[in-house]
Amino acid sequence: MKNIPVVMVIFGGSGDLAHRKLYPALYNLYEQGLIHDNFAVIGTARRPWSHEYLRSQVSDAIHETHDKVDENEVKNFTSHFYYQSHDVTNVEHYETLKKLAQDLDEHYNAQGNRLFYMAMAPRFFGTIATHINDQHLTGNGFNRIVVEKPFGRDLASAEELNKQITASFKEDDIFRIDHYLGKEMIQNIIPLRFSNWIFKNSWNKENIKNIQVTLAERLGVEARGGYYETSGALRDMVQNHIFQVITLLAMPEPESLKDNDIHKAKQELLDSLIIPNEEEIKKHFVRGQYAGSDTTFAYKKEPNVDENSTTETFAAGLVKFKKGPVADVPIYFRTGKEFKEKKNRIDIVFKNCHSLYGQVKHDVLTIEFDPTSSITLTINGKKITGEGLRQENLTYAFSKEEMAQVPDGYERLLHDVFVNDSTNFTHWGELKRYWQFIDAIEDAWQKENEKGQANIAQYPPYRMGPKEANNIFESPTEHWIYE
């Protein structure tokens, strides 16, 4: 594997994301030789840490996530880490950071390559991007930036943030990361669709009745009530994770597997995205909040949550496209907290065939990607005894040994940033269409709030969300497959 020279700056180097995900992922890439001799990592945060203390934290992160390590390798790896106490609003601190990056570039022969990672509160993204530009932190090699979600909280703020970032970086050098696109079964959607004759030729509006995407969480908001009040399920899950999955399910076949061709196919699809009007929103969209029980708080009773909150912890709705292989096919989504179990899955529901057996159950292709990874095709077969049909499952799944080989999503996506492969990241044109859709829903719900007509369904914890979500379907013969 090619050894890539680079100086990487992590804004938020003392944070939870860096500790749990970024440092272990970087160590794995170091072991693989993608980064090895000619790299340095600068962790920045407001805390008054030293280089040595950051290195001890990186070492702890590796030991917490790896059963067995070579201590000399860990020591060599952590020696490439440096700490800079940094206030992102202080221009002078960027001057110090620039000097450190230049010194490390010379020391490690990093060839002027820079990688910036925004691993801190989104409200600072614009400030950091602006100062990277006006203080000339970029190098004379490649310059790339990784931006965590959320990228804005509506289209207007996303456009402003994009303007600030593109002052320093070209679109091709901006990696808007969504860790869902690093999941093994999500990355299996394209090969599943386009390398199997049976699916390639049946993945169209003539054969598919509907598509369902469920992202269910077992936990409530817990300590994140303050953040969640500014977000809600629609912005937190639908605008990014769910739309990313839907786009992969509905896009036309790209000309090749090159990242530019894949994004071209995605954009062609999203240009035909149907933005719902207020009447359609009332009919096909539902928002809800989890209620309390003897053992759990209701959302409105959670810490840092307004007792009169209209923020949704559940959202369900309908997505349609005018073009593409599944044009006009209803794609239903739902996501929420305090479901009966954590379950992320996709159900492709095929139309009923004309059968000698009369009315038969739909064939369903199910892709589960968290917490388990599998692809299951539900088909009709003969009953062993008696007359009629029974449903059988044909399953493609990984063994325990294979699952152990699956890289973490962040490891996979950081690898792609280093090698400049943007396939599993979001381009601005795609993100813009996602926000236009989300803004239409948010605007309609806000109008209801202002009129005192907020229709926020309350649902009991550890079930399947509000029963109202069963009424969003276009046809009375449609229903949720995962119940």
Active centre residues (catalytic): 241
322 CB-near residues (< 8 Å, 6+ apart): 272, 273, 274, 328
Nearest to residue 174, comparing CAs of 156, 161, 157? Answer: 161
Peptide bond into 150 cis (omega under 30): yes
With beta carbons less than 8 A apart as the criterion, state whether 131 and 94 touch: yes
Instruction: Report how far residue 6's alpha carbon sits from residue 113's, in angstroms, rounded to the nearest whole number.
Output: 5
Instruction: Report how far residue 88's alpha carbon sits from residue 137's, in angstroms, rounded to the nearest whole number.
Output: 13
Instruction: Report how far residue 5's alpha carbon sits from residue 382's, in angstroms, rounded to the nearest whole number.
Output: 60
423 CB-near residues (< 8 Å, 6+ apart): 257, 259, 262, 263, 416
Nearest to residue 161, comparing CAs of 132, 116, 127? Answer: 127
Determine the 3-state secondary structure of 92 from DSSP. Answer: helix
Instruction: Report how far residue 273's alpha carbon sits from residue 432's, in angstroms, rounded to the nearest whole number.
Output: 11
Element (H, E) at 288: strand 286-290
How many Cβ atoms sit within 10 Å of the Cβ of residue 143? 18
